[in-house]
Structure 1
């Protein structure tokens, strides 16, 4: 045996380095240790997984904040890890691993040979992310010390790829639901200065909730993307490119979200222009009362920086459009503040109109209507069943669509 050892590994003494070289005579399989301390997920494990990581993966755009004990892997997915796992567990949780390790593939043949020799079988997973794979295999083996409390959004996306590839989304569903409740993933309103980075984070969370069939979280993150994005979601300057061509998502999701944003823009724009398009009776009598009030209203809009001729509000996010008009002074903008000296002027009938008591009322009312549109933004069940769940009334999220295409849906609240 020593002769075979020196032939295969010259210069290495098997007595001094018993764990560095393993020679199986007859099969002549040589396994060189990479110097990486393996993570033991099963003390009796018969498979040693080597996950080199993706060396050419671009750096993550967000900082990791893994607070769970024993979390491994780097933020760019390039650190190699080794895991000792049980092939029986893998076959139970994943039909892909079952076919690979118990079927007629090369891996199954090699595993049976190594098992007969009471040796661990080394399996390399070149295409998988080390951090995501470690979390999943730890979850398979109920080793919760290696599961972080709040992974990065990049890791969430990699987990979606992993579980979709190995068909084990059911294992992650409960854990994923708890993760997405963390405030870390729900801070978009307070991160408007880095809105482009925030959109990428929200898109990754949307992918995660879509793959793991988390209907409530899917709607919530879709709504956050709609509110945080500046301009059209499917436009040339979109920050949500991840949604448009993501391999795990249906391509219509970005289009539906963009159509919903445009619908809300129409509601907002109509309310914004209401004082200027209203039929003022006093204008026909030479009274300037209404003109002065509308002038004050336009000054208020300019002060808020929301007076736009662009119907799509390309330079604004809805967070800005919804928050600004509700803040500031409560002093009403009304024709009542300006005296009229024309005898019998019809402006008196204008003042009696409720909306004329404050010209900001239509816009603020529209804002309150828009805020109730969250359940209607996107329904995961409708998307996956092509609206059939709405007709059958089986949607997990209650919303207003009655089996109609989004582009045909009339403006709500009118």
Structure 2
């Protein structure tokens, strides 16, 4: 019996995807739940698994092809013998010419080429195990692991002449390199332009004295980690907790616009921006208003690991009613974050710097952080936005307020 292999159902925020890598070729035996093909979207790489044991009979969408939600990718013959039938080979479309990196002799898939570039590996140095000598993503992963584990060269007894220096460009040389924009970067660019074109977006700023939060964290971080099975206490959980409390008091900041309607959300799904090899991604903490500090930190740590491993799913990043981004991780002192539609606001955290502050007529040194709140003025008035940000500031400067709900 023939089984259709289809692209998954994409959420509304993802229009389409690209076939990144076929892990099987027509005639290959496949076991149930085995990985068949990767679909790359602007947010995540989705793995399509086999629904039953059988043989891959036909590939309809080749690597590099654009696919829509639930579009047919190929067919699987359930329970067929492992040997590749000639009919199945003939059924395969004239194989689309595999992607070839400019200047490379080796043939490799788009996903393999991207991975090779990220790891600084010359594709020509990799022995391809795929059809026709194609270098697969697995080949690049193996080459990267071998490169990482290769023993370092023994140091010379005496300092010899310096290693061959990078080639020096002659005066006037104007080197350029052109590479395709990734789907993630292209979609980010599209959404940023869309947000600024369709929103009446403004940004308000404030600063928060982090003394109390830092003292609380310093005092209890070891006990916190011991009590919560290794979960570390960071600053982000305090900001998420303060944001959910402020969102209860200012529901318009947690709302969104749908056509001519305003949708007020009775829950706080907080998007937390994390960095990955593919760019900035925003997984969502569901019902963050019900989470403890430990649950928030655990959730963020899990998302960070999944982002690093490329394992974030569509469900992890769908939805969200409010977003927090922390440019301070990279040393940013001030920024104006852009709202993520259809949300109405985004909070930007920044670097903590020791600065002289005038307190009770005395100049004292305090750890200060600038906060930025970008918001959609169509939905949120200036007074409301400013007061919302002041509320977060007050909650962080006196963390007891988070416990006492005042």
Q: Which of the two has higher C-alpha Rg?
A: 1
TM-score by length of 1: 0.25
Q: Which structure dedicates a bigger proportion of its chain to strand?
A: 2
- Which of structures 1 and 2 has the larger relative contact order (alpha carbons within 8 angstroms, sep 6+)? 2
Bigger share in helix: 1
